[in-house]
Chain A
Amino acid sequence: MKTIILRTASNYMLPLLLVFSVFILLRGHYLPGGGFVGGLIASIAFVLHAFANGLGDTRQLIRFHPGFLMPTGLTVSFLSGVSPIIFAGKPLMTGLWYPHHLPIVGNLGSALFFDIGVYLVVLGVTLTIIFTISESV
């Protein structure tokens, strides 16, 4: 499948899809989207890249093992969950909000960081599974 067309296309597709996935992630609180879908789209982007250029290239592109995304994402989500306890003395998972409005994101709150954690975990899980399986075939 390593045709030149696909390879060239995937080189442009990868950043586009990644930007799209982040866009989906950020708008998730207001419109369809969110961390789960965003993470899945991002992983499809990488898998597509791997199909076109081979697994080695994609690995080199990412530089670190995608497995590290899992603990990172879990930590982000967990911290956003406990941050109300630490910063505001409120119960677990209480939403904390930045008072001003931001473009695209809308209101910035702890829920967004939670979603970012979900995004990272989903991306890490999918890539780990697919990379591991395709390596050991």
Chain B
Amino acid sequence: MEVLLAIMVGTLYASGIYMILRRSLVKLIIGIILLGNGANLLIFLLGRIAKGSPPIIPGDSKVFLEAYSDPLPQALILTAIVISFGLQSFAIVLVKRAHKVVKTDDLDEMNATDEYS
């Protein structure tokens, strides 16, 4: 299963980079989101995955009695997911703004910011 997940991470990265390399602004944002998902999944995978053992101390015990999945990457990814929402919305708004001011959607035409001050 890990192999399949690793391939999936690679696919997310590849598609993310491919979308970022397009000239369209909207594709850029989609690429960033895909890349973010890939990074989250990569961290999750590298923290080692396990089924049916959430990092929650069961019932009345005070410590883990059985194996548990790693809580640390989960905490990292949780914040990363929320932050990525902030990043996405900011990027979307920035694109909207840029589109309105520069009046083009072609990234290649946005290579000289000085003209649009």
- Do A and B touch directly, given a CB cutoff of 8 Å in the complex? yes
Binding site for B on A (CB under 8 A): 30-32, 36, 40, 122, 125-126, 129, 133
Residues of B60-104 whose CB lies within 8 A of A: 78-79, 82, 85-86, 89, 92-93
**Chain A hits for B82, CB < 8 A:** 36, 40, 122
Binding site for A on B (CB under 8 A): 54, 56, 78-79, 82, 85-86, 89, 92-93
**Chain B hits for A40, CB < 8 A:** 82
Q: Bound complex: CA of A91 vs CA of B50, how far in Å? A: 36
Is B89 in contact with A133, judged by CB distance below 8 angstroms? yes
The answer to whether residues A32 and B93 also contact, given A122-B82, A125-B86, A126-B85 and a CB cut-off of 8 A, is: no
Q: Number of A-B pairs whose CB atoms are under 8 Å?
A: 16
Q: Bound complex: CA of A30 vs CA of B89, how far in Å? A: 31
Closest B-chain residue to A37, C-beta based? B78
Of the candidates A36, A122, A133, which one forms a contact with B92 in the assembled complex, judged by CB atoms under 8 Å apart? A133
Would you call the interface of chain B mostly helix, strand, loop, or mixed?
Answer: helix
**Chain A hits for B79, CB < 8 A:** 36
**Chain A hits for B54, CB < 8 A:** 32
16 contacts between A and B (CB under 8 A): A30-B56, A31-B56, A32-B54, A32-B56, A36-B78, A36-B79, A36-B82, A40-B82, A122-B82, A125-B86, A126-B85, A129-B86, A129-B89, A133-B89, A133-B92, A133-B93
Q: Bound complex: CA of A30 vs CA of B56, how far in Å? A: 7
> How close is A1's CB to chain B, nearest CB, in angstroms?
21
**Chain B hits for A129, CB < 8 A:** 86, 89
Q: Bound complex: CA of A122 vs CA of B93, how far in Å? A: 19
